[in-house]
Copies of this chain bind each other. A is one copy, B any other.
Amino acid sequence: MPMGTSSSVESLYAEVQQFYAHHMHLLDAGDGEGWALTFTEDGSFAPPSLPEPVVGRAALAAGVAEAAASLAKAGEVHRHLLSMVAVRPGEDGELAVRSYAQIIATPRGGSPRLHLMCVCDDVLVRVDGELKVRARRVTRDDRQP
């Protein structure tokens, strides 16, 4: 599912939304390698559950593989749904993007539940014409100060 570059008939906002759709489909399919490629080589992800950010594609891919194995064992499917995406262009073409993230969990044969409600703050950059996540910070609503 190639993302391509922003063309004259596609808006930047649409490109960002399409990027996230592709990005989350890869994550939820457990494709750690593919998902890691949507980060920069030194991309970082600071999830709420870890004391230190995960840095670099190898570590990012390993985290997905681990999560996918754990979900398969538990017989659950997780979906990551971003919404209310606000794109703020910065210097040098960087994009600061804030969105809401619903994580939906569905057990095999059971009812889906809203597992977590989060806020996602990304820095997106363009590498060879394609958007990549350089830095992500996620906060959970249940752990608000």
Q: Which residues on A are within 8 Å of B, measured CB to CB?
A: 1-2, 6, 8-15, 17-18, 20-22, 24-25, 77, 79-88, 98-100, 102, 104, 106-117, 141-144
Considering residues A12, A81, A100, which has the most beta carbons from chain B within 10 angstroms of its beta carbon? A100
- What copy number does this chain have within its complex? 3
8 A/B residue pairs, CB under 8 Å, sorted by A: A9-B12, A17-B17, A21-B86, A79-B84, A82-B84, A104-B114, A108-B142, A109-B142
Most buried by B among A8, A77, A86: A86
Contact check: which of B102, B106, B108 meets A81 at CB < 8 Å? B102
Q: How far is the CA of A106 from the CA of B119 in the complex (A)?
A: 12
